[in-house]
């Protein structure tokens, strides 16, 4: 895929979330602009802001974050780097996971807590309204009807545009949809981990955006000399680009959000939007990734 032209997210096509949020189908996940273990400040905050600004320059108009990234750090950096926001830039955030230290996460879905976190997210992001708010995890100690009930009230107040879920099964999506309109689902999914294939199919059928976190294949699949590595080299692309391009092809409702703290890597990820392989080649790659 050698080319001197700069590929933008426009090449990924578009997806309309919730009937009114039209975005390019290649977004940016802002988890990695924090410190190690998704904890604390990044080593170089200015570089983190450059990555965010460059993403928007490259046509990325869907940026996903969460109050727990840092915690608070990712949202704050987005507000500092991008506000006032360019027209059409959609910011999605999440709440419902608390932090007890690096790489430690604990769900809390109490209504008063979620209400507080929405208010804090608005302040840090420098927004009057959250375009897409997502319940980061369903708290097993709190009925989802209670967690989403307060979110529905905040939506009615105009503080939240649309609502999504994260790490859920189809039956949980059905349960949530009885409380509030759900427009998106964010689950772990990539070419090497297709555990949530049923959720992708559910979202495709019902027209919900599917936002795969951890979109790039990892582990044994990506070892040098392996089948995926060989396929990537054969087509002149990187493993990351191959992974992202496969996701874009998998479903019209797919919205990958690869994250990085490097401008160079960001540009590489966005260039995945122009990767084009034949059906036979994709089938071979899918088989090798099983």
Secondary structure letter of residue 184 according to DSSP: E
25 phi/psi in degrees, rounded to 5: -80, 5
Contact 217, 191 (CB under 8 A): yes
Six-digit token string for 243: 């992974």
- Other Cβ atoms closer than 10 A to 283: 11
Instruction: Pick the catalytic residue from 69, 85, 189, 202.
Output: 69
Q: How far apart are CA 188 and CA 54, in angstroms?
A: 26
- Asked about 202 being catalytic, the answer comes back as no
Tokens 């400040």 correspond to 41
First to last CA, the chain: 25
- 3-state class percentages of the chain: helix first, strand second, coil last, to nearest 5: 40, 20, 40
Query: HSE of 199 in the Cβ direction (CA atoms, 13 Å)?
Result: 25
Six-digit token string for 224: 């040098």
Q: How far apart are CA 154 and CA 44, in angstroms?
A: 35
Active centre residues (catalytic): 69
């Amino acid at each position: 895929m050698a080319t001197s032209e700069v590929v933008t997210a426009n090449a990924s096509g578009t997806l309309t979330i919730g009937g009114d949020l039209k975005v390019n189908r290649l977004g940016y996940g802002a988890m990695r602009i924090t410190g190690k273990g998704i904890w604390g400040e990044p080593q170089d905050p200015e570089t983190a802001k450059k990555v965010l600004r460059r993403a928007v320059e490259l046509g990325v108009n869907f940026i996903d974050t969460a109050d727990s990234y840092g915690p608070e750090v990712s949202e704050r950096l987005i507000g500092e780097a991008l506000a006032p926001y360019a027209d059409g830039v959609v910011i999605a955030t999440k709440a419902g996971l608390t932090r007890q230290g690096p790489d430690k996460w604990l769900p809390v879905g109490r209504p008063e807590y979620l209400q507080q976190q929405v208010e804090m997210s608005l302040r840090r992001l420098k927004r009057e309204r959250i375009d897409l708010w997502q319940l980061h995890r369903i708290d097993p100690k709190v009925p989802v009807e209670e967690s989403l009930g307060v979110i529905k009230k905040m939506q009615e107040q105009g503080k939240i545009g649309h609502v999504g879920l994260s790490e859920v099964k189809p039956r949980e999506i059905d349960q949530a949809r009885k409380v509030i309109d759900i427009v998106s689902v964010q689950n772990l999914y990539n070419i090497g981990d297709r555990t949530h294939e049923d959720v992708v199919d559910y979202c495709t059928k019902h027209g919900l955006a599917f936002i795969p976190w951890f979109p790039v294949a990892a582990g044994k699949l990506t070892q040098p000399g392996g089948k995926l590595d060989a396929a990537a080299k054969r087509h002149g692309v990187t493993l990351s680009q191959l992974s992202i391009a496969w996701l874009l092809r998998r479903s019209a409702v797919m919205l990958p959000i690869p994250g990085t703290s490097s401008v160079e890597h960001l540009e590489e990820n966005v260039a995945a939007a122009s990767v084009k392989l034949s059906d036979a080649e994709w089938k071979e790659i899918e088989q090798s990734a099983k």
